[in-house]
Amino acid sequence: MVRMINPLKNIAERVKYSLLAEGEHLNPTGIDKLIETTLHLYSASDTSETNLILLLQRFELCQDLNEQGYNIPNDVITALFFQGIFQDPSFPARLTGEYSDITADFYTEISLIREDAYADFVNSVNELLSTAKKGQRVSDDHKSALLLDINNSFLAGERNDYLSIVAGIARRHLSEGVTPEKYVEKRTEHLRGIISRNFIFHTDPFGDDLDLNARENMRWETSVIEDIVQLAGQIKRASQVFSPNHRTHLLTP
């Protein structure tokens, strides 16, 4: 069993509440197991630290927004929690890979907590994610716009926090076989595309100050991106000396 630090316990309780709000047919014990299995998968990733830092940051933001009077819909909370798995290119491979037992548990727990089992659950999350991915075309869908803004909120974070996250993003792509040169090219193109948008954020909680901070961070990243890739490569090599069992320290006291 995963022993979670307090912030992750708070996230688990919030996700559990959101899932239970969908209907009485959901099994609370099954939900607990599903959430625990999901955290196992996040911690088993080669970029577990980045996954968990983003998870904590996004849910802390949701809590702050709720305290300010903004109501974060339950399905947005659900999508925020599970999206790291559904968007992970390596996740399907884990069915037969090193983490196949954990992945199988994930599918099993989904089928136990919902009457309509796995497919509808994944589709409901992916529908929000798919709309959010359209970037500036989310204005007619408030939930997807809110999901997109929460996901992108790290862009406006403190510089050290931003560096930690983008180095993790670079490390993930390098781990997937992308060459440093190709990553620099594609990442720079991606950042310039975002900077060129009229609006980076689309919903009321995210104002002009965050927009300006995000643009400043991204311009800075483009100016030092080769150094970030070099840093990511060093972290990647260092992490390879540890087994996956050593990558769970963020989940334990």
Is the pLDDT assigned to residue 113 strictly greater than 60? no
Summarised one tens digit per residue, pLDDT across range 199-247 is 888 888 888 889 999 999 999 999 999 999 998 888 655 554 444 443 3
Between 203 and 22, where is the model more confident?
203
Number of domains in the chain: 1
**Does residue 48 fall inside a structural domain?**
yes
Residue 37 confidence class, pLDDT cut points 50, 70, 90: confident
| pTM of the predicted structure, to 2 decimals | 0.75
Is the pLDDT assigned to residue 46 strictly greater than 70? no
Is the pLDDT assigned to residue 93 strictly greater than 80? no
CA pair distance 47, 52, nearest whole angstrom: 9
**Does residue 205 fall inside a structural domain?**
yes
Summarised one tens digit per residue, pLDDT across range 156-201 is 999 999 998 999 889 888 888 899 999 999 999 999 999 998 888 8
**Does residue 118 fall inside a structural domain?**
yes
Tell me what the pLDDT averaged over the chain comes to: 76
Residue 96 confidence class, pLDDT cut points 50, 70, 90: low
**Residues spanned by the domain of 181:** 6-251
**Does residue 1 fall inside a structural domain?**
no
Is the pLDDT assigned to residue 127 strictly greater than 80? no
